[in-house]
Amino acid sequence: MRPALEAVEEVACDGAGIARTIASGFRFRRGPYPDQRRAEQGTEAMVQKGMFASIEHGRPRAQPEMHNVLSYDLNVRLDLYYHLSAPRVHASLLAGLAEAADDMHRLRMALGYPGNLENTSGGEATGLSGAALQFETWSMTDPDTEARLIRATMTLIGRINMTA
């Protein structure tokens, strides 16, 4: 599953893909990691908004176990991190929330475009059916004014075929 997550990061952070790519001014950086303290997440997001991709849930598809290729339905979770520039200023909060919502749309367009997730930049096949993911949900947590952090979560679904 590593190539699939790597391809997601490359689309979001490096602008990879064949169409509907993320323009340079809207790209993310890899990290911070979910177990970092919120204050560290907010500080890192000050440099550039961050993103962490993970497999949230996987379910095997109904099929005979003797096949050499097995399929799974996946939930891919993207945690997105934004710096809140002026934590107690209404306009700053609205701007941060709007940026996160706009990014959800951009990511949906790029990660959902067929072929954008076919291979990693190193040419490794991801195994994702349709070489894309389908948008499922997104949400935002309450802003953390002390950590100066806005955190959003996006869930995409897909199917992956893995060789035994």
The pLDDT assigned to 51 comes to 96
Residue type, 57: H
User: Tens of pLDDT along 17-71?
Assistant: 999 999 999 999 999 888 889 888 888 888 899 999 999 999 988 877 777 888 9
Whether residue 87 is preceded by a cis peptide bond, meaning omega within 30 degrees of 0, is no
Residue type, 108: R
The pLDDT assigned to 77 comes to 97
More confident residue, 86 or 137: 137
Domains and CATH numbers, the chain: 2-163 (3.30.2000.30)
3-class SS at 26? helix
User: Tens of pLDDT along 64-109?
Assistant: 777 788 899 999 999 999 998 887 788 988 999 999 999 999 999 9
Range 136-162 average pLDDT: 93
pLDDT at residue 122 tops 90: yes
The pLDDT assigned to 81 comes to 95
